[in-house]
Chain A
Amino acid sequence: MAGPALSDAMAVSLGDVTKVYDNGVAALGPFDLDVKRGEFVSLLGPSGCGKSTALRLIAGLTTPSSGVVAVSHHAKETRAGHDIGFVFQEPTLMPWASVQDNVRLPLKLAGMATTEADRRISEALAQVALSEFAAAYPRELSGGMKMRVSLARALVTRPDILLMDEPFAALDEITRFRLNNDLLELWRKLNMTVIFVTHSVFESVYLSQRVVVMSSRPGRVSAEFRIDTPEPRVEDFRMSASYAAYCREVSQALVPSYSGRTSA
């Protein structure tokens, strides 16, 4: 699916996109989003605001009812390369396969030779600090570790664009903070575009260069914030006054998204 041409600086562009599900629910739109190459963008909003739908549209897991979804497709050095990595809300691992076989999946589906695949797998596992658990089974791992495996599987194809759908929502705070830091480090190192869906104001401000606040039913962009704090961001940023100020600002913008909802 070669979408409409994108300028070189762009990774993703959604123009006037709407999504109406078969049961008549208007989930999204009209929705516009432009993401630059190498940018870290968060989609922030209440549950059911269509932010996951936007992500699935970009991934090509679902098609828009109207509008244009354009995603940059790079020429790849190997045919096992894949433009997009996707990390789901749950780790979504195959319980019958070991950690390394779970990470191997995208390469196996692309028919990559075993030796090259093995090299990539150990590289990806090293990136998420799980090298010594290569032979473990998913059930033997903690929630945070399973999420790391899921991240390694997304990274193993060396994607240009990493899509993450509330990946750390089910984890405890300390684990989430650590994974946030690890993710930022990977993003800096691997030069990826990251689109990160979350309902946590604090997480979105900490991670992103840009926070896109969405309102629900149907999902639209209600506000946008640029978080100008320079990289590298580390734990100190969490404690800083500017972080608190950003969080306050973004939270206030999020309030209208929740108004008129019967359930909190």
Chain B
Amino acid sequence: MSSSRDFVRFLLPVVVLAAGIALWELVVRVNDIQPYVLPGPSAVFQTLVADWPVLSESLGVTLLTTLEGFIAAAIGGVALALLFNQSKWLEYSLFPYAVILQVTPVIAIAPLLLIYLQQQTAVIVCAWIVAFFPVLSNTTLGLNSVDRNLAGLFSLYGASRLQTLRYLKLPAALPYILGGLRIAGGLSLIGAVVAEIAAGTAGAGSGLAFRIAESGYRLNIPRMFAALLLLSVAGIVIYGLLALISHLVLRRWHESALRKEN
């Protein structure tokens, strides 16, 4: 019963996807639309295969940037949250600026960063700026969500600050941290893409977003679609991986990872 429902849940989106692709192909063929206006799915796929050497290299560049930005965001976000948690003064002094950094559109900051930093560094900084805030705010929330009685218990048994942090606050915050990382994964990809686009107009670069911009100038629309497809798949894989890690880490104890009854 439940397995057949799982199957339907899996099947329906696939059917919708297949139908969408078929309709797209049909519209392109029936109306005889030229590839430089709108390529059909088959043309996109052919381009993907034919241009694979170029595209795969660009994919690697973008993924590396994303990974570096993500790691920087994860470390920076968690570390800042820990600092804020230990010192209210620090939190009051710095938190508003974290918010400002978050609400200022990164696409507007990117060109500025490219002036002062090397392109590779600027791209990573962009990815970091977009991705660190969800980690910071989620970790802060988690660190403050500790059960009061458990905190009382720790103080009753004379736990030091470090012990309380290590054995109580961090484990209690773990589900929140993982939730923040899941958001940060997708956001660091966006940050990397934004910076590449901003840098791409200056002429240097080789990431996927740069390929999109470049193909746009050359009216190589099928390659734009192919690169977009790769970006999209990369985003899905990143999200899936982080969700899987979160599930594996939490499955023994946290509500979010437990199998529902009935």
Contact = CB atoms under 8 A, between A and B. Distances in A.
Interface string B158-201: 11000100011001101000000000000000000000000000
Contacts of B254: 95-96
Nearest to B147: A92
19 contacts: A56-B152, A61-B155, A61-B156, A84-B156, A92-B147, A92-B150, A92-B153, A94-B167, A95-B254, A96-B171, A96-B174, A96-B254, A105-B167, A109-B154, A109-B163, A110-B157, A137-B252, A137-B253, A157-B157
A86 interface: yes
Contacts of B156: 59-61, 84, 86
B153 A86 contact: yes
Contact of B171 (A61, A94, A138): A94
Contacts of A92: 147, 149-150, 153
A143 to B, nearest CB: 16
Given A95-B253, A137-B253, A82 B152 contact: no
Contacts of A88: 149, 152-153
B258 interface: yes
Interface string B24-44: 000000000000000000000
Contacts of B149: 88, 90, 92
User: What class of interface size applies to chain B in its complex with A?
Assistant: 20 to 34
A108 interface: yes
A188 interface: no
Interface string A54-81: 0010011100000000000000000000
State which size class the interface on A falls in.
20 to 34
Interface of A: 56, 59-61, 82, 84, 86, 88, 90, 92, 94-97, 105-106, 108-110, 137-139, 157
Nearest to A93: B150
Interface of B: 147, 149-150, 152-159, 163, 167-168, 171-172, 174, 252-254, 258
B258 A139 contact: yes
Between A105, A108, A110, the greatest number of chain B beta carbons within 10 A of the residue's beta carbon is seen for A105
Contacts of B172: 94, 96
A48 B58 CA distance: 66
Contacts of A109: 154, 157-159, 163, 167
A99 B154 CA distance: 17
Contacts of A86: 152-153, 156
